[in-house]
Amino acid sequence: MRKKKGTSEDRGENSSATNNAKKRRIAGRQAKESAPEETNESVFGVFVREAGVTLKHGATPNEIAVDLVVFQKRIQKQLQKSPRFPSIMQEFVTGLEAFVESPEQFRNCLLPCVPQFPDGESSSSFSSFQESLLRMLLGVEMLQTLIIKTLLEKLPEYLFDGGNDDIPRMIIKQLKWLDRVVDPKELAAKLMELVSVAPVEVQRDIITSLPEILEDSQHSDVARQLNSLLQENTQLTVPILDALSSLNLSSSLLSEVRGAVMARMAAVQLEDLPVVVKFILHSVSVSDVYEVVCNLRKQLELEQCVLPLVLQVSQSHIKSKGASESRPASKAAASSSQDSVMLVMDCIKSAVRFQKTISEAWLKAIESVDEVKNHKVMDLLVLLILHSANANQSRRGAERVLKAKVRTGLIQEPLLQKTFMDYSEVMRGYFPSTLALAQSLLRSPDPCVVPFGGHIYRHSFNSFDSYCHQEVVGSLVTHVCSGMGGEVDVALDLLCGLVTEKPSEMAMYAVFVKGILDYMDNLSPQQIRKLFHLLGRLAFGQQQQGSHIQDDIHIVIRKQLSSTVAKYKRIGIIGAVMVVGSLGALRPEGKETQNGSLSQNAFRQVIGLLELVKSSSESSPEAAALYYDELANLILSVTLDPQVQEMIGKSVLDDFQEDFIVDLGPEVTGSFPFPARVMYNLEEKESQEGIAVNLLPLLAQELQNKGEQQNQNKNKKRTSPLCLSPFFRLLRLCEEKQHNGDLEEIDGLLGCPLISTDLDVLEKVDSLSKAEREFLCTLLFHTINWFREVVCAFCQQKETEMKMKVMTRLQNITHLQTLLERALAGTHGYIPPVANFDGESTDTFIVPSTAPVNKTKKGKKRKAPSKNSSESGSQAEEATEADETQQEPPEKDKDKETRPGVSLSSYRPFFRELDMEVLSVLKCGLLSRSLLDTELHTKVREDILLGPAELVFLLEDMLRKLEFSLTVAPAKRAPFLKGKTDKSVGFSHLQQRTPQDIAFYCVQLMPTLCSHLENCHNHFQTLLSENRGVVDGPATDVQEHHLMTSAYQLLLQVLNATFSWSGFTQSGQRNLLKKALRVLAERLKEGSSELSLEQLVKHSFEYLLNFRSTVPSLCTALCLAQLLSTVSEKGGNSASYREQTASLACRFLNQSWVTANGERERGNKFNEVLHTLLSIYLEHVDDVLKAVEQIVKEGMSELVSASKDESSTSWPTLSRQTFLVFYKVLMAELEKAVRKIPAGKMDDNTEVQSEKLMTWNMAVRDFHIMINQVKLFDSRPVLNVCLKYGRLFLESFLKLGMPLLDYSFKHHKEDVQGLLKTFQLCTRQLHHMCGHSKIQQDTSLTNHVPALKKSLELFVYRVKAMLTLNNCQEAFWMGNLKNRTLKGEEILSQRSQQSVEDDDDHEEEEQQSSPKAEEEMEDEQSDSEGNNKINGAKPMDPDDLSDDSE
């Protein structure tokens, strides 16, 4: 290789010499004339020419005739052989400087040389690319420093030279990628000096070239200078970060630079932001990734980047003449900002995709935000990025965090809306992930997160293009077809909303929506209403963009109506009525209307559909009743065309009179199961001259028709009492629409009587046959439902007479309900007539057994069989039922008055639904029996007062409505193979309203509710004063006391349900919340209109706190405590009310609760309430450990010395019947409290260690006392609680307490030793419980044993590790602990029975004291009875720790 290279070099020299000789010969005289110039030629020119480069003048590039290496060697050789070496080098550089004085020649020296081919040489022997002359000279090490100096001195000459502005860049280019830099430190210093004076463009070139110029040794110094420069000049952000990314820096320096960059991020221009983010994320290390990401999230303010540009766009639209010119520029600016944000997101995406730690850090950073205002648009965008990453773990993590944030209300819809509005282009890039997240949220079993998925769908449709529209509609249709309840509801609501907002866009996808018709089997009636409303708007709307699906809808409806299956006929009826609503709706004047009225074609379609439905449902009373109900809902919710409305109203009025109303004659003729009588007449005229509802004859006729049904034509019209209430509702709504709310035409129906029978027959119900009892029950159900509809119809009438009649009808309802309870008690297996006809199936209601409850035994609790209400709201019915069980009078005294009945709570599906407007009756005052006198009809009745029974009736209904519409029930999966119960039965009218409407209505009623609450308070205050503070005094009316207690409790529950509405957290409902709080605050202090939310909460809390002195039962007390807790959370500082809430709960716990009968409250319901109240007390008290110790030391010690039926003196609610409740709550809260104790750290100072040790000492002391209670109360439930929470406490001690002992043992030796001694007593008792559980062979107890024993064994070894860490391992003993029962009796195993005498001397190993604070631990895991002593210094045999008792 060397020889070949040398030959080539010689050949190059010879060829060069020959070429020069030829030139001199050919030139002749010209050469001689130039001889004088050559004699004056500089050393630079001579050496360069002789080395093989021909210098040119002008724009002609220099020529090179040899290879680069040959040239450099010749230059170096010439310099070294010169007699003037080393001064010759300076002469050479001086000649170079003189040569490059001319800009053109300087440029030539900076540009690549052109190869000069000798004669006969091919171009293949030369490289296609040649370096510049200066670049080749820089490769000569002895000249490098001088030439660099020359170049850098020349560079400032061209900094501001417009004609040669590219020369500085060319100079910098010469310095890149040199094989070796002779003086890198000097070069770095000069380059940085140049940076300080050069223009911005040259600065950028120099800075970005630094990593290619400098050696690694200079990287750190240059990085520090660049860091300083970055803080001074933000224009150089991008080049500096590019350079820093390529420099080899230490982690500490990189962290310093990154911190400086982060601090200056607010001043960075938007277009530079992607580079900044990329540098920060790509320079992060595993150890500080979380901190860096948190700081980046904090500093990255995307909102500030986009907002000014959006304002520019809006301003440009305002301008009139200049709008056309400014609009493109502003739009381009807005688009540029979106592009920059998109690039930032791409940088984050690349970082999280290739570095798992960064994706985890982003998730943690977003999770750590704990306030709504601190969440940014950035969080949502990053979650989309994480979801779009390839890793499944990242995708699942993004879904989990988003669901958690939405569930807790930290990420709300306004933030989502802002993200879509300001960053639609960015969001469009992540549309697949956006759609997937929306699908996941909508399918979630948690109802709290489902609406947020709907918001994502809606904003995606509004913000994106037609492709996304199609995907959104297709996905929503898929949700509807899934059949999952909440998912279907939200998807249908979204589709209906989109059709309303964007009908023309949605019309393109009408075929998609029509496909849902194939999946109607899985939809509920309410969902079918929404579906046909949606399809009707698309096909028959004003613009009829989706008219191509009209025929398909008609075909489906006719097919369903002709079906003999009740389910499909119901779908057909609902669909037909909804289509009538779309066809017959009142429309503004336009192409399809004639003088503002409906077109003849549309009118004929409406008439045809209505007649078709009517004829299809005549043969089935259930179908006819459903048709009336659906038509009534349509008239209520849709403004129909006047001619359609008039046609329906006239037909309904005529048919109702013909079917259900009869004129009263002298007597009612006919054969009936019971004697017919005219009942409940409120009219002043004689009963012989009026009208009556023909109820009993119709019911008897229907009973007869059922027997003859097989012989009759099924298509024959049948008038059934089942249709009475639905038909009247339809009639009433038609009259209201036609006469603007005036019901004068039908007001006679409010007071008109019913043809019924004398209900005194219920006194001898046991003597009736089963058919007669069932007939009587059916009659009562129809009568009650008629009165419920009458009350709904006339509740808003203003005349006094009408109000009085409505109040009387309410009294009729409450009285009839008590009679019905008795009738049902003696009618086993009876199924009432259907009252709500849009249920899933009218035959699938499970009616509980109607056997008499509490007939022979007293004191047992009636358990409500209803499962319709949520757990938190079940107190509504239980208020009545629980109190009844605790206040039952002696059977001998009141056997007839309190005939056993059943609870009607399970029969609610068979009662007609009351409208929300009925609650306006609550505005009447409260009339308690203490105010009654013999002149009731003259004086008091003029005030139209509400009785306690009617108040309870209305409040129960109101509470059920609020729980259904405002309270979000916890998500529960339906059990496998278990029939689902439709909880919406009886709330179909309520479902037509939004939660916002219901909350607004409740706030409107709040002054009335407060008045009733104050009346209840005054009633019990008066009662206590009359009885001198005794609840069960002689002046107490038991029945009234029971009703007023129920009313008191229900009022508190209604207020709590209202304030618990999650919608109050939305910004749009803030004013409504303030209005509700203002009502409470003004009851205490007038002039609260200008108070802040926090002040309103304070006054409301004080107002409600005043009721604490008169609560009549523990259940009512709990309701008050829960209401106070709910109200306190509405302010910004709920912690300030914790002490008052705890004090209130403590007061209730320290009170003795007695019923009106004088008996102490007890029973399962009482225990449940006590459990909740005690939990509230311990959750709100400042020091849980101190409170637990107080209850244990005072209450439980007093209970031990008390007699069997007595309770604790200081804690009257603590008795032997409630001991388990107290024990369970105390153990649970104790374990929860120790989990909150911070773990011990090595860097804790002595004071902190001492404080934590004191806390643990108190906790262990409390735990020891609680464990010892098992010796006195050793029932199975108590043992179960002890084993469960004992293990959890032990695990918390191992995780949090033992690290503290590790670090504090040396400084607090005695405290640690005392703590372990106490805890050892606890673990020994737990060990005895394990043995006791095995002896008893109780699986509920033994299930806890393995995990507990494992924790006990871990405790032994953990203590040994602690002693070893503190050099006290020789102080550790381990011995075999004998198995004993709870009473201390030894449990003998087979092996131990053989050596029982020997074991007497070695029962347990005692602790040995030592100057080194020796600590002995017994092996609490071993069940063997050997007497082995295991010293910590010796190896331990695993067999000694075996469990051989099993």
Pair of tokens at residue 1101: 């809390």
- Residue 1430's H or E segment, with its range, is strand 1429-1431
Tens-place pLDDT, residues 648-683 = 988 898 889 888 888 877 677 667 778 888 888 887
CA distance 138 to 143: 7
Sheet hosting strand 53-54, strand order edge to edge: 53-54, 63-64, 114-115
Region 1198-1207 average pLDDT: 82
Asked if 600 and 606 count as a contact pair (C-beta separation under 8 A), the reply is no
Alpha-carbon dihedral 376, 377, 380, 385, rounded to 10 degrees: -120
Neighbours of 345 (CB within 10 A): 24
Tens-place pLDDT, residues 946-973 = 888 999 999 999 999 999 888 765 444 4
Taking the alpha carbons of 571, 574, 577, 583 in that order, is the dihedral positive or negative? negative
CA distance 1254 to 501: 65
* SS3 category, 112: strand
Return the pLDDT at 1032. Answer: 57
Does residue 1035 or residue 591 have the better pLDDT? Answer: 1035
Whole-number mean pLDDT of the chain? 78
pLDDT category of residue 504 using cuts at 50, 70 and 90: confident
Q: What are the C-alpha distances in Å from 592 to residues 638, 939, 1132, 1133?
A: 19, 61, 55, 59
Return the pLDDT at 982. Answer: 59
**Helices and strands in the chain: count of H runs, count of E runs:** 60, 9
Tens-place pLDDT, residues 415-450 = 899 889 888 888 888 899 999 999 999 988 887 888
Tens-place pLDDT, residues 1267-1292 = 888 888 878 888 888 888 888 988 88
Using the CB atoms, write b or e for 57-95: b if 16+ within 10 Å: eeeebbbbbbbbebbbebbbebbeebeeeeebbebbbeb
* SS3 category, 327: helix
* SS3 category, 678: strand
Is the pLDDT at 914 greater than 50? The verdict is yes
Return the pLDDT at 1028. Answer: 66
pLDDT category of residue 848 using cuts at 50, 70 and 90: low
Does residue 684 or residue 934 have the better pLDDT? Answer: 684
Return the pLDDT at 1407. Answer: 36
Return the pLDDT at 1384. Answer: 64
Closest by CA position to 108, among listed 60, 175, 169: 60
Is the pLDDT at 787 greater than 90? The verdict is yes
Neighbours of 881 (CB within 10 A): 19
Is the pLDDT at 1252 greater than 70? The verdict is yes
Region 876-884 average pLDDT: 39
Q: In sequence order, what are the residues at sequence separation of 6 or more whose Cβ sits closer than 8 angstroms to the Cβ of residue 1122?
A: 1052, 1056, 1176
CA distance 1119 to 1056: 8
The verdict on pTM exceeding 0.95 is no
Question: 3-state secondary structure string, 751-783?
Answer: HCCEEECCHHHHHHHHHCCHHHHHHHHHHHHHH
Tens-place pLDDT, residues 678-701 = 888 887 755 456 888 988 888 888
CA distance 249 to 240: 14
What does the angle CA 188 – CA 191 – CA 193 come to, to the nearest 5 degrees? 110
Tens-place pLDDT, residues 244-272 = 777 877 777 777 777 777 777 777 777 77
Return the pLDDT at 121. Answer: 53
Q: Is omega for the bond preceding 86 within 30 degrees of 0, making it cis?
A: yes
CA distance 727 to 736: 14
Tens-place pLDDT, residues 19-28 = 444 344 334 3
Is the pLDDT at 801 greater than 90? The verdict is no
Q: In sequence order, what are the residues at sequence separation of 6 or more whose Cβ sits closer than 8 angstroms to the Cβ of residue 773?
A: 765, 823, 826, 827, 830
pLDDT category of residue 542 using cuts at 50, 70 and 90: low
Is the pLDDT at 1118 greater than 90? The verdict is yes
CA distance 160 to 199: 8
Q: What are the C-alpha distances in Å from 624 to residues 291, 579, 660, 1210, 1339?
A: 69, 18, 14, 64, 57
Tens-place pLDDT, residues 192-248 = 888 877 787 888 888 888 888 888 787 878 888 877 777 777 677 778 777 877 787
Taking the alpha carbons of 451, 457, 462, 464 in that order, is the dihedral positive or negative? positive
Neighbours of 799 (CB within 10 A): 10
CA distance 242 to 190: 20
Tens-place pLDDT, residues 602-637 = 888 889 999 999 999 888 899 999 999 999 999 988
| DSSP secondary structure string for all residues of 1105-1166 | HGGGGS--SHHHHHHHHHHHHHHHTTSS-GGGGHHHHHHHHHHHHTS--B-TTSPBP-SHHH
